[in-house]
Structure 1
Amino acid sequence: MEQNTATKPIRCKAAVSKVAGQPLEMEEVEVAPPRAHEVGIRILCTSLCHTDVTFWRMKDFPGQHPIILGHEAAGVVESVGEHVHEVAVGDTVVPVFSAQCGDCPDCLSDRSNICSGLPAGPGMPRDGTTRFSFAATGEPIHNFIGVSSFTEYTVVDVSNVVRIGPGVPPEKACLLSCGVSTGVGAAWKVAAVEPGSSVAVFGLGVVGLAVAQGCRMRGAKQIIGVDLNPEKRDIGKRLGITDFINPNDTGEKAVSEVVKEMTGGGADYCFECIGSTSAMAEAFQSSRKVGTAHACHIFHITRV
């Protein structure tokens, strides 16, 4: 049976980026009701990803200001458009910026999760328009990679929504939208880390710690965490790290030399989770000759 469709717009507060690199401004915005295949979500919690910061700084991001940023969130379904059967009003969900139509060759393939049926781009994936506007003037506000979570209410395509259990704390569930799924997916899906292997993880933020978790789940024997913050040693140990390297403590030795000494020639898998070209080079240098290195930052393309 078709679910009821909300038809009235919602007025709420949102943090709007009006000028690249300038502070976000709290504004009253109007959120249009969901159209066919779309879901209206009340945001419970949203976190900040480095990708948000990157696009906030981009002065050459063409025609994308004003914009509501944010893409790591957890919320509750408030309304649904026509032809939405995957979720219902009251469901707890996390929005994800990488759509999954479920029907295109790429969604059906084990080699990729970059949906070609609903490719990422400006605006909503099916029509390229936005559901946001300034309440006072009616001026449109751009949507950000299909999510826009720095607002009390948002509208996303049903292909960008994953239902979760209501018992998951929102402040933790929001990390599943991007950081955690990126890290775990990099280890589990992309690298397919083998049991008994050695791993080096450069950067122990949300993505790096999730990589460590994914590697532990895959059965890696040695998981070396690399980070400048000494506090990450204990945090990393709780989440899968077996060894820790602080580049400030290696003296004249490069981190890659230390990794090679610890692993007997280099790690089988190296993951760069910072977004730094120098760290990426170090990760390659730390890899065994037949090993692999993966970058896990900005425009994450992995899934769990």
Structure 2
Amino acid sequence: MNNQPEFKCLLWEEIEVAPPKAHEVRIKVIIKENHCLGDPQSCLIFSPLFSSQEALASASFQPPLGDTVIPLYIPQCGECKFCRNPKTNLCQKIRITQGKGLMPDNTSRFTCKGKQIFHFMGTSTFSEYTVVADISVAKIDPLAPLDKVCLLGCGISTGYGAAINTAKVEPGSTCAIFGLGGVGLAVIMGCKVAGASRIIGVDINKDKFAKAKEFGATECINPQDFKKSIQEVLVEMTDGGVDFSFECIGNVGVMRAALEACHKGWGVSVVVGVAASGQEISTRPFQLVTGRTWKGTAFGGWKSVESVPKLVSEYMSKKIKVDEFVTHNMPFDQINEAFELMHTGKSIRSVLKL
């Protein structure tokens, strides 16, 4: 199930960050407090917490250093047809330019040694200062601990929302989660909150089983322990298949297994992991004709600007776990070691302190 890209070391560079333009916000990373290492498996961004440094032509933010915010790789403009439709969170307002690594006016706010460099996923958060669109930040409770709620900018929200919003897991149901990293654990948490009675974790790394059970898994299995395919094993274990399954790895073969592990007639399988560019999924049409549903999710289906503050509140009221995702605390100059821990499955999330 290991589908991780080859790891490349990060280098320190001095860059220049230009002032924000209309409907943009320049924000400062609170690097003197804490950083949190993001999740390249699921969403490919580093998502720490910020306080707004400047806000031009945006009455919703209070400069200087007036608001505590989390950056959003999926914005929420509230105006496009996607934002107006309750069925999706995929705001398209700045999608084209964001995909090009540029701000909405097709330019960059970053230069390094005199050369323009691109923005990344609309956030560019491996920088002490960054500039984002004003629809790409969510104001949150300033009392929230920075080194914890930063994780709600990506992986935890994605997994939790996949269960709550996308699959709409039902009380008493049976679920299977493929991949027990940070996103998979968040799915387990969501299934438990939704009232699932049986939650089966699936991973080839048995060292992850104990943590999965802490988050709510009722049992865990390793596909390498069986001669049959994992979907056959799950179908036999659950009298016909699970009600809901989730692929949290980004492996197209596992995506197929997750679908085929679902129960005929009503099983729902959600693709949460991001596969490598150009890869395709496949299954026999009979699997769908006989009543299974194959779905996908991005950022857990949350409409970002309005939902992230609510997720922070849920954490503050202890409805959802966040602290438990942090397994390592390290100095910031060990960022490459922190990434290596994540790629080798030895950590869930690492908090980096300068």
Band the TM-score falls in, shorter-chain normalisation = 0.7 to 0.9
SS in 1 for 2:12: strand
* Cα distance in structure 1, aligned partners of 2:101 and 2:231: 43
* 1:30 corresponds to: 16
1:184 and 2:160 aligned: yes
Deviation at 1:258, TM superposition (A): 2.5
Equivalences for residues 1-40 of structure 1 within 5 A: 23-40=9-26
Q: Do the aligned partners of 1:71 and 1:149 also contact (CA within 8 Å) in 2?
A: yes
Q: Which runs of 4+ in 1 moved over 6 A?
A: none
Equivalences for residues 65-104 of structure 1 within 5 A: 70-86=45-61, 89-104=65-80
Q: Encode CA deviations 1:213-255: one digit per residue, 9 max, x unaligned.
A: 1111222111111112222212111212111112233x31322
Deviation at 1:110, TM superposition (A): 1.6
Deviation at 1:92, TM superposition (A): 2.0
192 and 87 in structure 1: CA distance in 2 versus 1, 3 angstrom threshold: farther
Q: Kindly indicate which of the two structures has a greater share of residues assigned to helix.
A: 2
Q: Do the aligned partners of 1:84 and 1:158 also contact (CA within 8 Å) in 2?
A: no
Q: Kindly indicate which of the two structures has a greater share of residues assigned to strand.
A: 1
SS in 2 for 1:107: helix
* 1:264 corresponds to: 239
* 2:39 corresponds to: 49
Tell me the amino acid that sits aligned with residue 50 of structure 1: P
Higher relative contact order (CA 8 A, sep 6+): 2
1:303 and 2:301 aligned: yes
Question: Which of 150, 154, 157 is matched with 1:174 structurally?
Answer: 150
* Cα distance in structure 2, aligned partners of 1:104 and 1:173: 28
Question: Which of 109, 114, 120 is matched with 1:131 structurally?
Answer: 109
- Percent identity over the alignment is 41
SS in 2 for 1:293: strand
Q: Do the aligned partners of 2:176 and 2:202 also contact (CA within 8 Å) in 1?
A: yes
1:222 and 2:198 aligned: yes
Tell me the amino acid that sits aligned with residue 77 of structure 2: C
* Cα distance in structure 1, aligned partners of 2:53 and 2:197: 45
Q: What stretches of structure 1 of length at least 5 have no aligned partner?
A: 1-19, 55-69
SS in 2 for 1:110: coil
Q: What stretches of structure 2 of length at least 5 have no aligned partner?
A: 1-5, 276-296, 303-354
Question: Which of 204, 209, 213 is matched with 1:237 structurally?
Answer: 213
1:122 and 2:100 aligned: yes
Q: How many residues align?
A: 267
TM-score, with normalisation over the residues of structure 2? 0.70
Deviation at 1:90, TM superposition (A): 3.4
* Cα distance in structure 1, aligned partners of 2:165 and 2:103: 25
Deviation at 1:21, TM superposition (A): 7.5
* Cα distance in structure 1, aligned partners of 2:134 and 2:257: 40
* Cα distance in structure 1, aligned partners of 2:117 and 2:156: 29
Tell me the amino acid that sits aligned with residue 293 of structure 1: S
RMSD over aligned Cα, in angstroms?
Answer: 2.3
TM-score, with normalisation over the residues of structure 1? 0.80
Tell me the amino acid that sits aligned with residue 194 of structure 1: E
* Cα distance in structure 2, aligned partners of 1:145 and 1:252: 41
Deviation at 1:125, TM superposition (A): 4.6
Deviation at 1:287, TM superposition (A): 0.7
240 and 123 in structure 1: CA distance in 2 versus 1, 3 angstrom threshold: same
Q: Do the aligned partners of 1:46 and 1:149 also contact (CA within 8 Å) in 2?
A: no
Question: Which of 121, 143, 148 is matched with 2:124 structurally?
Answer: 148
